[in-house]
């Protein structure tokens, strides 16, 4: 009888997304209950279903929208950059900066993939692949032109992404370092990391190169 207080109208969906991001980031998807979420939003838990169709769909939408935005902005950041070093520097700068402002989205998009149902999982992994490919192409170009040296491009791609993404685990705005310092620290590591130089001999491939490292299916391929 009569609407009580709490969030109304079209703002509710936005409130759900925001609270959902926070709760999933803090507790994880499985551990977040829709009751918690509803309480945060200020509605009854049943009311959530006027805006989302399932809990799973909420996760999916949050991740998908994030990755799409990420891709869109990456392409903008790379626009006009020439040469592998410039491109790599731009990639690192963009990635780090973006991850500092979208910490939660990024964290969830990386850690909750396993919570996606197969169909959703595949869609997201395809999008993520597009992002990874941008980096792989930059590395390939650099190696081809002799500007970069890596043992294996696939491994380097994953390692660099992992290195860069790691900061979501510790970054908090207002910390000791400026944004610029953090970006610089990562640029140094990555650009030096792929610089040609006296280090271990080139890797031995066990057999003809196959794309199976790339596959990166569900952990343990369930």
Partner DNA sequence: AATGAATGAGATTTCATTCAT
Partner DNA sequence: AATGAATGAAATCTCATTCAT
Binding partner selected for residue 79 from a second copy, DNA, none, CB under the kind-specific 5 to 8 Å limit? none
Q: How many Å apart are CA 163 and CA 157, to the nearest integer?
A: 10
| Residue 207: Cβ-neighbour burial (10 angstroms; 0-12, 13-18, 19+) | exposed
Binding partner selected for residue 2 from DNA, a second copy, none, CB under the kind-specific 5 to 8 Å limit? DNA
| Residue closer to DNA, measured from CB, 33 or 145 | 33
Count the Cβ atoms, other than its own, within 10 Å of residue 36.
16
Binding partner selected for residue 45 from a second copy, DNA, none, CB under the kind-specific 5 to 8 Å limit? DNA
Residue 10 touching a second copy (CB under 8 A) = no
Residue 201 touching a second copy (CB under 8 A) = yes
DSSP secondary structure of 137-162: HHHHHHHHTTS---S-HHHHHHHHHH
| Residue 61: Cβ-neighbour burial (10 angstroms; 0-12, 13-18, 19+) | middle
Q: Spell out, one character per residue from 13 to 42, where the chain touches DNA: x when CB under 7 A holds, - when not.
A: -------------------xxxxx------
Phi, psi (deg, nearest 5) at residue 197: 175, 170
Instruction: State which of positions 48-87 bind DNA (CB under 7 A).
Output: 48-51, 53-56
Binding partner selected for residue 172 from DNA, a second copy, none, CB under the kind-specific 5 to 8 Å limit? a second copy
Residue 128 touching a second copy (CB under 8 A) = no
Q: How many Å apart are CA 124 and CA 152, to the nearest integer?
A: 25
Instruction: By CB under 7 A, name the binding residues for DNA.
Output: 1-4, 6-10, 12, 32-36, 43-51, 53-56
């Amino acid at each position: 009888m009569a609407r009580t207080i709490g969030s109304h109208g079209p703002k509710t969906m936005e409130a759900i997304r925001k609270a959902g991001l926070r709760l999933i980031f803090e507790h994880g998807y499985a551990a977040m209950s829709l009751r918690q979420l509803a309480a945060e939003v200020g509605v009854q838990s049943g009311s959530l279903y006027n805006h989302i169709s399932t809990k799973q769909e909420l996760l999916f939408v949050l991740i998908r929208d994030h990755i799409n935005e990420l891709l869109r902005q990456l392409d903008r950041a790379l626009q006009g950059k020439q040469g592998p070093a410039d491109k790599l520097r731009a990639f690192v700068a963009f990635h780090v900066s973006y991850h500092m402002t979208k910490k939660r989205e990024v964290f969830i998009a990386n850690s909750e993939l396993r919570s996606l149902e197969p169909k959703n999982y595949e869609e997201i992994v395809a999008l993520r692949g597009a992002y990874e490919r941008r980096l792989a192409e930059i590395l390939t170009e650099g190696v081809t032109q002799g500007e970069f040296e890596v043992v294996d491009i696939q491994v380097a791609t994953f390692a660099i992404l992992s290195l860069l993404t790691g900061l979501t685990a510790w970054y908090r705005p207002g910390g000791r370092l400026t944004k610029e310092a953090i970006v610089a620290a990562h640029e140094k590591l990555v650009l030096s990391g792929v610089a040609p130089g006296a280090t271990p001999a080139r890797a031995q491939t066990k057999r003809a190169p196959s794309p199976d490292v790339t596959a990166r299916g569900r952990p343990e391929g369930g």
